[in-house]
A and B are shown apart, each in its own frame.
Chain A
Amino acid sequence: MIATFARTVLLFSLILAAGCERQPAVYHEQLLVFGTVVDIKLWGVQPQRGQQAVARLAEDFDYMHRTWHAWHPGPLGRVNELLTSGKPFTATPSVLPLIQRGSELSRLSGGLFNPAIGKLIELWGFASDEAPKGPPPSDAAIRAILDQQPSMADIQLDGIKMQAQNPALKLDFGAFAKGYAVDRAIEVLREMGIDNAVVNAGGDLRAIGRHGDRPWRVGIRHPREAGILASVEVEGDESVFTSGDYERYFDWQGKRYDHIIDPRSGYPAQGLSSVTVFTQQADLADAAATALFVAGPDEKDWLPVARAMGISGAMLVDDKGRVQITPGIRKRIYFEPRNDADKTQPEIHISAAL
């Protein structure tokens, strides 16, 4: 009897021990940089190496933040001053790649992603460390900028010489600098031989490799409620970027004005509460999330933009909570029940394939 009992206890301990995995080898650190929290997870990396890598990323993010800030003084500010002069000048090397990539993405989006509308963003009060309180600007003031149609095509690049003729042009890379920075961070990690990582800059992320023997698990926050709307597994190399009307906005006389300005109307884009884009490159994902948000909730409006930009998937949540999703993403995504009592799922419409 005692022997049997001992055997049982031994067997039982073995079963339990088998259930206890070794702590996963994730190196985790958060940085307060780039005007947000950057959350970095590296899998299978020794702490010392992890520290080195994160210190390097912290420096890079800090540099990019100072260089590309849309309203603090710095290199982008100087470029903006020189652009309004109308005269040719030598392009600043730290800003040039952003202008080139920004122009390319703007063209692909048919101008819906337009980093040249810094003056409109300023007019709405979103180019500020403080949230605007309203009132919204006047139609006349908006019209005055729109009539001059600022766009990336106004910038003429000739070697390292740069010039623009449009006085309404002002660069604001807020809708894609974060994606560009995340791409650089992933490049740096790969150069350091780190192939399994997630870099999440204020909610927008790119993940490479895997979390050990499983993919990375990404939760997508609900645009209107606390908690998670859906989850998706990511492995290999993919970015997940969301643009939402809840990120920056102000309410004025019962109406919400969000920070995503439609370059066609000069007013905040209407109809959607969030757009999540899935694709490899983070800068593309970032710009496309803005472009699709501006395109609006009608499939015949946003789908052609998604196709033209070449993203691999998208999920759009409209202001009534209805979800549209591309078929490839639908297969991979799991909609979380809101709580234990309520198992209802949002109304989901699967769009045509990209």
Chain B
Amino acid sequence: MIALKLSRGDIVVWLLAATLLVGLYTAFWQSDGRGAEAVVLVNGKRWARLDLFQNQDLEVPGPLGHSHIQVRNGQVRFVASPCPNKLCVHTGWLSQGGEVAICLPNKVSLQILGSDPRFDTINF
């Protein structure tokens, strides 16, 4: 074991390192489960990957027409879709990792990805 003789400078470096480590740990591992990205699938194939903090509106083409998807401040939803029952629109806003909304008739699905999702799968 090497005996460490710590100068004042060493202590400052160690303290900085420790602070940084705690900061990084918190940033990377203490996620609250809110996803930062979503993926849009059309007919099971990836059509787009969305940054949920970049507000935008998309017209996603499916067999029946365009599904309108909206991204606002970390959330995403179907605003309109050319399907008869509008189940996708009724699903409302999604924000948690793993949450899904789908428009089966138009074969468009929307799922939140989580960088560290708290759940492997969602039951509903």
Chain A interface residues (CB < 8 Å from chain B): 1, 4-5, 8, 12, 15-16, 19, 26, 30-32, 35-37, 39, 41, 129-131, 198, 200, 203-205, 207, 211, 216-221, 226-228, 231, 240-242, 244, 276, 340
From known contacts A31-B44, A36-B102, A36-B104, infer whether A16 and B120 are also in contact, taking CB-CB under 8 Å.
no
Inter-chain contact B32/A340, CB cutoff 8 Å? yes
Does B13 sit at the interface, judged by CB under 8 A?
Answer: yes
CB pair A8 B93 closer than 8 Å? no
Q: Is B67 an interface residue (CB 8 A)?
A: no
Other A-B pairs beyond A36-B104, A216-B121, A241-B123, 10, CB < 8 Å: A1-B7, A5-B10, A12-B21, A15-B21, A32-B104, A32-B107, A41-B121, A200-B121, A216-B120, A228-B96
Q: How far is B10's CA from A12's CA once the two chains are assembled, in angstroms? A: 13
A5-B13, A35-B104 are known contacts. Are A217 and B21 too (CB-CB below 8 A)?
no
Residue pair A32, B93 in contact (C-beta under 8 Å): no
Cβ of B7 and Cβ of A19 under 8 Å apart?
no
Q: Taking the nearest CB of chain A, how far is it from the CB of B80, in angstroms?
A: 16
Chain B residues with Cβ below 8 Å from A41 are 120-121
13 examples of A-B residue contacts, CB within 8 angstroms: A4-B9, A15-B21, A16-B21, A32-B104, A41-B121, A131-B84, A205-B123, A216-B120, A217-B121, A219-B123, A226-B95, A240-B123, A276-B123
CB-CB under 8 A from A204, the residues of chain B are 123
Given A8-B13, A340-B32, A30:B118 Cβ within 8 A: no
By a CB distance below 8 angstroms, the chain A residues around B32 are: 340
Taken together as a complex, chains A and B put the C-alpha atoms of A19 and B26 apart, in Å, by 12
Q: Bound state CA distance, A218 and B118, in angstroms?
A: 9
Choice from B17, B86, B109, B118 contacting A8 with Cβ under 8 Å: B17
Which residues in B have some Cβ–Cβ distance to A below 8 Å?
A: 4, 7, 9-10, 13-14, 17, 20-21, 24-25, 28, 32-33, 41, 43-44, 84-87, 92-96, 98, 100, 102, 104-105, 107, 109, 111, 118-124
Min distance, Cβ B112 to any Cβ of chain A, angstroms: 11
Q: Is the CB of B121 within 8 A of A205?
A: yes
Q: How far is the CB of B37 from chain A (nearest CB, A)?
A: 14
Contact status B105-A32, CB under 8 Å: no
When the two chains form their complex, are residues A32 and B44 in contact, meaning their CB atoms are under 8 A apart?
yes
> How near does chain B come to A53, taking the closest CB pair, in angstroms?
15
Given known contacts A15-B21, A30-B111, A242-B123, is B100 in contact with A37 (CB within 8 Å)? yes
For A241, the closest partner residue in chain B by CB is: B123
Q: Do A231 and B102 form a contact, CB below 8 Å, given A19-B25, A242-B124? A: no
Are B100 and A219 in contact, with the CB atoms below 8 A?
A: no
Which of these, A12, A130, A221, contacts B85 with CB under 8 Å?
Answer: A130
CB distance from A87 to the nearest CB of B (A): 37
- CB < 8 Å: which of A4, A198, A211, A241 contacts B10? A4
Knowing A8-B14, A32-B43, the reply to whether A217 touches B120 (Cβ < 8 A) is yes
Does B104 lie within 8 Å of A218, measured CB to CB?
A: no
| Closest residue on chain B to residue A200 by CB atoms | B121
Q: Which residues of B contact A198 (CB under 8 A)?
A: 120-121
Specify which chain B residues have a CB less than 8 angstroms from the CB of A15 in the assembled complex: 21
Q: Is the CB of B104 within 8 A of A203?
A: no
Contacts known (A15-B21, A36-B104, A221-B124); A228 close to B44, Cβ less than 8 A: no
